[in-house]
Chains A and B, each alone.
Chain A
């Protein structure tokens, strides 16, 4: 896993970002019937490891796509910070030389466990700490599912996707 070459935005970045958003959306729709079992966390980790900080553009495009699809509301603000937070965590980890499958599996597990808390932050601003706490507590069972799902998905898929993304990079496609 080498550092991505430092370069400005090029036309191919738009194509890569579009492909990433398409993959995110397809994986999301495919697993929609399983509450909080998702590939988005895993994909953002992999994209960030191999595509670096430019993945933030994909996160913002994905958030906007979700808003268009599900409609705009006070909650939509969460879409714009939950994934960038994950990307920043991965960027920091990458900078510190973290490359192991267990590291990222545990990171995605913790991220899933506190995903609900992260999402509840908008209610803190809108309605205060009591509402935020109740909102967060009600979702804890889903956060635990999210945590275990993320952990297992990353453990299973990290190595095959690393091999795939490594090959794409060596061919100059990523």
Chain B
């Protein structure tokens, strides 16, 4: 009998703890600091290996493209992987699609307002109204010779 009563007390205490956690979640959701909207408008389009486009747009205070990409990644619907090198951030994968240059000459290129980007993502400044594209491209052997 006493064991049953103890079990009941434990279950009740667990319930109270769960309710307290729920109450704190509500307090947090109602009162957490609102993210402030940035001041620079942007669009970022991801073009995958099939040519399918996915566009993101909004306002940001990001200084560099990589900061904007970090913001988008934190928001959840965008992801990327990259490695830092002496030449800056080298983008290896976007939205789970990995470009392996050693395997098939694939790489992620950056376009800024339709022009091929001159900088890495961590050195590309973000300006108001800029349109960025991350495009999956494959280097074709002999392409340079033909040009």
Contacts and interface: CB of A to CB of B under 8 A. Distances in A.
A102 B10 contact: yes
A113 B31 contact: no
Interface in A142-170: 143-144, 147, 151
B36 interface: no
The secondary structure that dominates the B interface is helix
B10 A140 contact: no
Interface stretch (A24-32, A80-88, A131-139): A131-139
A144 B13 contact: no
List the 5 closest A-B pairs by CB distance, nearest first: A140-B28, A137-B31, A102-B10, A106-B13, A140-B24
Contact of B17 (A110, A134, A141): A110
A106 B17 CA distance: 8
Contact of B20 (A100, A113, A141): A113
Nearest to A113: B20
Given A110-B20, A144-B24, 15 more contacts: A110-B17, A113-B17, A113-B20, A113-B24, A137-B28, A137-B31, A137-B32, A138-B32, A138-B33, A140-B24, A140-B28, A141-B28, A143-B24, A144-B21, A147-B21
Classify chain B: how many residues form its interface, as a range.
Answer: 10 to 19
A133 B28 CA distance: 10
Interface string A99-143: 010100010011001000000000000000000011001101101
Interface of A: 100, 102, 106, 109-110, 113, 133-134, 137-138, 140-141, 143-144, 147, 151
A102 B6 CA distance: 10
Interface string B9-28: 01001100100110011011
Contacts of A109: 17
Nearest to B21: A144
A103 to B, nearest CB: 8
A149 B33 CA distance: 25
A140 B22 CA distance: 11
Given A137-B31, A140-B27, A100 B17 contact: no
Contacts of B20: 110, 113
Given A100-B6, A137-B31, A144 B14 contact: no
A141 B74 CA distance: 16
Given A102-B10, A106-B10, A140 B25 contact: yes
Contacts of A106: 10, 13-14, 17
A158 to B, nearest CB: 14
B27 A137 contact: yes
Nearest to B31: A137
A151 B24 CA distance: 17
A134 B13 contact: no
Contacts of B24: 113, 140, 143-144
Interface in B94-121: none
Nearest to A107: B13
